[in-house]
Structure 1
Amino acid sequence: MIEVHYWPTPNGKKVTILLEELGVPYTIVPVNIGRGDQFKDEFLAISPNNRMPAIIDTEPKRDGSPVSVFESGAILFYLAEKEGRFWPQHDVQAKYEVTQWVVWQMANQGPKFGERGHFSRVPESAGDQTYARRRFNDEVHRLYGVLNNRLYDRRYLAGDEYTIADIASYPWTVSWQQQGIDLAEFPHFKRWFEELSERPAVQRGLAVTAGEPEDPASVTPEEQERRRKILYNQRARPAPSI
């Protein structure tokens, strides 16, 4: 069984989509990132960067002890390798075609799309955000161009086969409208996006929740202040004393 420590963000949905594609049983352990669950000691024990998702495989191959993995890209590699699907293992060129696009997503698409979302939500009281918004709007547009140019002469990001490269990138593009993207400008991406959107496992993976949404009106001013203190302007945590 795979325990998925999860909140329904694009990074979390990469994992649930792959698990649905694989048909592997899993359970959801909610990590409410708005409430600060990612800073709890029990979560940090499996994800020391205080970011979700993370998994615990209670039935790993060749070893009876549970295996924990953090970082969504590493989780995709682990699950695909374990199940022998969506990441070629015996053809080195095919393997690294996939690998480089998963790393591209982790190093480029995810961070830049995330920064765009962050600065689009910063209130005016925080100061002039014009440069940051322009920079990350442009980066998001540029990266859609990278996807579009990659897909003009191949069906999927790594070639003719659907792989974890596609699964990694797709959830970050579901909000293309909010990202200010005109799909008509990126026809090869549009074709890929529409095909993946029709996959039943993709639809199931996107639909995974982590419990009922919280009513903002139920959060007291004291709790709002507590959350602000732990969620924003984070700095290094002190190491535990020996």
Structure 2
Amino acid sequence: MTRRTTTAVRIVWDWNGTVRDDLADHVAALNATLPALGGEPVSEETYRSQHRVPIRSFYDHLLGRSISDEEWQSNDSAFLAVLDKRPVRLRSGARQLMMGLRARGIRQSLLSLAPHERLRREVQQVGIAGLMERIDGRIGPSVASKAPALAAHLRALGPGVDPARVVVIGDSVDDALAARAVGAVPVLHTGGLHSTERLATAGAPLVDSLHEAVEVGLATIKASSRTADA
């Protein structure tokens, strides 16, 4: 039997809530800006159970009304200003894990719906930019789905990329939906911006560490390859 030629395995990392350990930062920024709009501070549990994108719709949901363009512009600037004051923290063991993956020949890239220049600056600050084949953030207004950005990200990585051999590691239901939309393998981290209960609705593997996320994703690809070769 002729075995099919396989392309390189890749991992596409999400940033906020996944590689960057920043749930507390986002809750602090939200709570610093809600009162000016007439809202009340929220707990981490409320944030994780109700968070949605684009972030403007999250504010609308929490306030029970649609905020104006002027309110949004002022609020968004204030939200980002709070985040700028918080140190960028990687999830424990992330850098070592990524260095190990590079040594194994597994290619890595990073995709986020955070503003592109902000994303690149933060990734460089924590010293992992050199481990990434590509870093893509959002250019333009906030969007409700990561799927188009993920499709564009994979195209930009080159014509030899096989989505079926790509593991997308994120912390939101949308990360799983985006992965499935392009034919990639989703794995969701339970310690990020979405609650475990919400993540469970995506039907993707749920894990408590980035190391486990990698191993589950790679095992899934390996099992799929065996099935295809059978």
TM-score norm. by structure 1 comes to 0.24
Task: Work out which of the two has the higher radius of gyration on C-alpha atoms and give 1 or 2.
Answer: 1
More strand by share: 2
